[in-house]
Each structure stands twice: as C-alpha cells, then as structure tokens.
Amino acid sequence: MAAKNAEHIVASRALKSIRRGLEGRLGRRLTVKADRGRRRFSVEEGVLEGTYPNIFVVKVDAFGGPRRLTYTYSEILTRAVRLRFNGDHGEFSTAPLARSA
C-alpha cells in the first residue's frame, strides 16, 4: 500500500514539473508529434497557447483556419506526445524535469 502511495506522489510531482516547464514556454512555437496507435503519428506545428491543471493547449494553423489541440501532461510522461520547441536542441523531455521535482 505504501509503495502505491509513493508511486502516486512521484508521478504527481513529475506531472507538476512538466506543467511548470511548459508554463515557462508559453507563446513559443513548437512541433508536436503524437502517437495515434498502430504505428501512426500526427505531426503538427503551432504555438503553445495555454497550460491548465490537467491539459495544455497548442494552437495550430490548419487548412480552413486555426485549431486548438489539447494534450495531457501524462501523455508527455508516457511519451505518447513528444514536443520540440523551435530554437531548442532536442525534444522537450521529462528527464531533467523529473530530477528537479
């Protein structure tokens, strides 16, 4: 029982750390690569528009006008969603964030 509580606390800290990391990058351009299952990925380019308690929003310019895509912080943690901010070397990663949590 104590092990489950400890895992929950560690995961909660990691998610908060991811959120803080994204909050510091609001308004920056990025590329989002999302796993859609069965070896399919979607790749979108846009701007990090907002962070909320459980999700973050990316505004993308799509045919027919702008759209807003939402993702959860846990999708970054599980690597189902990968972010690469313009001007940064490498992708946005949870590794340095988890250590600072």
- Structure tokens given for 82: 């990968």
pLDDT at residue number 1: 59
Rounded mean pLDDT of 85-100? 63
Of the ranges 22-26, 49-53, 95-99, which one carries the lowest mean pLDDT score? 95-99
pLDDT of residue 7 exceeding 80: no
pLDDT of residue 72 exceeding 80: yes
pLDDT at residue number 73: 95
CA dist 98 and 12 (Å) reads 10
In this structure, the strands spanning 55-62 and 65-72 are antiparallel
Q: Do the beta carbons of residue 69 and residue 21 sit within 8 Å?
A: no
Q: Do the beta carbons of residue 31 and residue 83 sit within 8 Å?
A: yes
Structural domains present in the chain:
2-100 (2.30.30.100)
Q: Do the beta carbons of residue 73 and residue 61 sit within 8 Å?
A: no
pLDDT at residue number 96: 46
Q: How confident is the model at residue 99 (pLDDT cuts 50, 70, 90)?
A: very low
